[in-house]
Structure 1
Amino acid sequence: MDILDEVYKALKSDPFIAAEVGNRIKFYEYPATGDKFGPIIVLEEVGPEMPGDYADDVWLTDDYFIHIEVWVQGAGGRTKRDAIAKQIKNIMWDKLGFAQVSGMPPEWDKDTNTYRDARRYRGKAYREDFDAL
């Protein structure tokens, strides 16, 4: 399973995220310093999937650890960043069953007036070949 693609699809299908972020959901691609942009979401895997749950010596699930950042520039950026990050948290739980397990303090870059939120989510999915086990 391409977990980043699954997260991407879940985010893109949400009306709030689609309206606020549009096509600015990126994989590993951060904006350059000084660039002007609308809200951006950056998706990264923290590490490769790991075997998760077991039964009768058979591994059943893959455990994923995902890093998601929200970047917003300009007036109202802090509240917009917070609203987008909260909606992502809801989507990750409601659609994918991933819980937020950590985060970094929200940041603001005075020089570029950019607000940033970084959170990490962990979740499991049954193996793609589960029915054949």
Structure 2
Amino acid sequence: MNILNIIRTLILEDEFLKSELDNRVYFYETSKNADITNSFVILTPIYDEPKTTVSDNYLSEEYLIQVDVETYHHQKTIDITKRIRRLMWENDLLPASSKLDMYFKETKRYVMSRRYQGVPKNQYYKEKHID
């Protein structure tokens, strides 16, 4: 299971976020070809660990994911961050530690960074998994 693809899909299937971000949801960092002229999101996995064990095997994984929202407008940063928080909540990924709310003069962008932790809703192993 690729948690980054799951979260990216959740974000891009939301009408509000799709209109604000288009397809600007990146993994780990932006590439030099990435479109950073408008709002964008960077997803970074922090860790994953086995959960929900049955007969010496686990059926799911718990994740800790960092979501960075970067925009040129403070209110837009807040709105996108709150909508993502709601989507994460609806999918059993709850707010965890570490928050960053900053304005970076060098890039002239507002950045809000949040971490979410949990077992994503309806994301259990149905086939053989790799240990």
The CA RMSD over aligned residues, in Å, is 2.0
Greater length-normalized contact order (CA 8 Å, ≥ 6 residues apart): 1
Q: Equivalences for 1:1-133 in 2 at 5 Å?
A: 1-30=1-30, 37-47=37-47, 49-73=48-72, 77-94=73-90, 96-124=91-119, 125-129=123-127
CA 1:20–1:5: 2 relative to 1, 3 Å? same
TM-score, length-scaled by structure 1: 0.82
SS in 2 for 1:129: coil
CA 1:23–1:116: 2 relative to 1, 3 Å? same
SS in 1 for 2:113: strand
1:6 counterpart letter in structure 2: I
Aligned residues: 123
TM-score, length-scaled by structure 2: 0.83
Contact 2:100 2:114 (8 Å CA) reproduced: no
SS in 2 for 1:82: helix
Runs of 4+ in 1 over 4 A off after TM superposition: none
1:15 counterpart letter in structure 2: E
Give 1:59 shift: 2.1
What runs of 5+ residues in structure 2 fail to find an aligned partner?
none
What runs of 5+ residues in structure 1 fail to find an aligned partner?
none
For 1:36 and 1:62, locate their aligned partners in 2 and report how far apart those are by CA, in whole Å: 32
